Structure 1
């Protein structure tokens, strides 16, 4: 069991903060797109159901943004307090996207405020919808810029480190490193996907509770169609991510797939357990699939863990995280595909209790996939905080008070989670859809 020194406690505290923040960050990226899309459809079809969807989703979104601001601030604070040596390097090299991420957030926040307070203020409703576009752009750019920072940690470029001195800094090279295309696109697409399934899950639950009104059926159809689009895009980007790992981080891919020996025509292992000799038992082997994932060629050679020192190998439990992430992604893609088929040919089946419960479950599963994917990405990079430049233990603080900070931040997140949940429940319970329709008809 790893020793709970200051470095490990720093990792645990940062993990807890990011694990909590990523819930709100994901919704913060994806929900604006769905709000904008719902309002646009409502205006185009002159359908008040879709416009009301946009209104109600916006109210909930503002609450999650408020919590996300707090947790995002905690991350910035912890980077400076817990990882001073890392920030000494990263702060100089990758400061540009950190600044741009803040700018993108303020850009989003300004237009979100305008969007909130200008409902029904324009004779032409498209003017109000246009205000939502900068909100979508700002939230997406915020995700892009912060993803480039994480990409830099996996593929540090744009500087030289000689005798502890940083020279030849190139901010744009650091920002647009080889990991950026797959990392940023996967983060953004999966945020859209997860947000669509979360809203679809809430809608399915309300249909089960209140019945399939026209409003809820439209909400479910819109979110599930959106989910289908981004399930496909996330799967395609995931394939490119596998090929990136094979080229730039082969030891991470090998650890994730329990691939110990370099060989051609490598099998992909699903599930299973490892014995004391690192032999896989009870796993499902898919012949040549790892070579296809890594290089798009069933006969391609895939580098095994034997090529790397033991102290530079990631923990092998990331195999389960990878399997869970991919498995959930496949389930979500299949569920949205089946919904589209049923909604076209067997509409009654798409609103059956069994299928609706599957959609309800898809929301939490989608968020779990985000958590599993993030943990896989970060733990799979170990022991490096900067890939082959700085080890995690060398970037951490040596303070003796990290344990106390962990307890304080844990209490903060419990309170924030309780407040957010309570406010959202009261907000929508005290103002149901039916009441709003009655007020609109007066």
Structure 2
């Protein structure tokens, strides 16, 4: 019996609505928790390498001390990410057996390659942590670059798999079987460019603002030493530089979604009527088939979607009710994502203006207060963006091919699994925050040269 046949037999009986909600909630929890670590896994190694390179170039030991402290934090986060990533891999098979049984051969390539990237990252992170001053500086820096590259590669591969769920290609279905499988075409599907760009840029923003926020709190409490200033300025500058880039990437993503998933764009904007010159709706709440109390910017959605005031934007009137995403949730998440992005853009502009004028941070303590919250805002924007991506695809797990209700495991008692996973994440969160707090209060020691062997001393 083929895998797809086994999966079809496994889901012969439909899951109860309660178990479907449990499976979706568990997956949302796991993805929402893991995505923060995934962002840090992309951005923090880059920060680490950047600041170590700066230390080697200037000879300033403060940079290398900070790089060592951040490397220890990366080790903690990497271990936690390994746990949550393992949970996610099991959840794909346990919660969604029909999808993996039928389409696993189509989308297995990026998952397999991601496993290789994960082990490369683990190996070079170990080398980086344990070879301070035991190898030449350039070799040590290369190990850090390998960590940064493999972390970004892992994110790229996972996003490729997610993009395929939004624009599934690389296969044909005949007689209930998947045929003519092209794993490379499936991996590099049409949604990959905008999803990967959006995610990688978001990762640098989340990392930069989160790390800078920690040091902003320290500056507010009177930490005026060089470590606090460097710990704030370097990551905040990185995040601020990527913020306007994300606005441009978001525009590109909007145009791509208009072409590839018009129903998702209609849900994000709560556009119920197909029209040319469609307005961009900001705020408001959805009731029935109407958006109430929103602020409309005339024709702006048509410009966002097609670059023209006369672009026709498909509304939800062209989508059967059974195929519509939960409009209220998607629209709220989209507005929240955009609001956080522009708030961070204003904060970045404030920082850039002050640095251009005085080569220093803004003197107002309100800047540091907002900077301390910027990491939270970046995380909220990322979570909201993933909500648009995932909930906006509903009711499909594989867009246009398999519904979420048909993909879920019909076994009863999925709420028990959800409760256990929730407990695991609560414990992990407490442990991570505790250990990171210890690292934050630890005074980093300058890396020392290894002690000479007795034979060398005798010579």
- TM-score band, normalised by the shorter chain? over 0.9
Aligned counterpart, 2:253: 241
CA 343–386 in structure 1, closer or farther in 2 if over 3 Å, else same: same
How far has the Cα of 1:21 moved from its partner?
Answer: 1.3
Distance in 2 (alpha carbons) for counterparts of 1:12 and 1:273: 23
Partner of 2:123: 110
Aligned to 2:8: none
2:322 to 311, 314, 317: 311
Give distance in 2, aligned partners of 1:374 and 1:118: 38
**Mapped contact 1:271–1:323 kept (Cα < 8 A):** yes
Deviations 1:349-371 (A, max 9, x none): 61431100010010111111111
Q: CA deviation at 1:48?
A: 1.5
**Alignment match of 1:15 (pick from 28, 47, 68):** 28
C-alpha distance in 2 between matches for 1:385 and 1:275: 25
CA distance in 2, matches of 1:272, 1:31: 37
Partner in structure 2 of residue 161 of structure 1: 173
Q: How does 1:62-141 map to 2 (within 5 A)?
A: 62-122=75-135, 124-141=136-153
What pairs with 1:6-405 in structure 2 (closer than 5 Å)? 6-122=19-135, 124-276=136-288, 278-317=289-328, 318-346=330-358, 350-405=362-417
Tell me if the contact between 1:50 and 1:219 (Cα under 8 Å) persists in the aligned partners: no
In 2, are the aligned partners of 1:384 and 1:392 still within 8 Å (CA)?
yes
Whether the 8 Å contact between 1:254 and 1:304 is mirrored in structure 2 is yes
Separation (CA, whole Å) in 1 of partners of 2:242 and 2:360: 25
Deviations 1:216-260 (A, max 9, x none): 222222112211221122222111110111001001100110111
CA distance in 1, matches of 2:116, 2:25: 29
Is the Cα–Cα contact under 8 Å of residues 156 and 177 in structure 1 kept in the other structure?
A: yes
**Cα distance between partner residues in 2 of 1:348 and 1:305:** 50
Give the superposed CA RMSD. Answer: 1.8
Query: 3-state SS of the aligned residue for 2:256?
Result: helix
Give the conservation status (yes or no) of the 8 Å contact 1:267–1:290: yes
For 2:294 and 2:257, how far apart are their aligned partners in 1? 22
Alpha-carbon distance in 1 for matches of 2:245, 2:153: 18
Deviation track 1:123-155 (CA, whole Å, cap 9, x = no partner) reads: x42221111111111000000000000000000
Structure 1's consecutive aligned runs of 4 or more residues displaced over 4 angstroms after TM superposition are: 346-349, 437-440
Q: 2 CA distance for matches of 1:275 and 1:84?
A: 35
CA deviations 1:308-348 (Å, max 9, x no partner) are 11111111121010011111111112211210111231456
| Mapped partners of 2:125, 2:438: distance in 1 | 22
Count of residue pairs the alignment pairs up: 434
**Structure 1 residue 30 displacement after superposition:** 1.1
TM-score of the two chains, using structure 2 as the length reference? 0.91
Q: Which runs of 5+ in 1 are unaligned?
A: none
SS at match of 1:425: helix
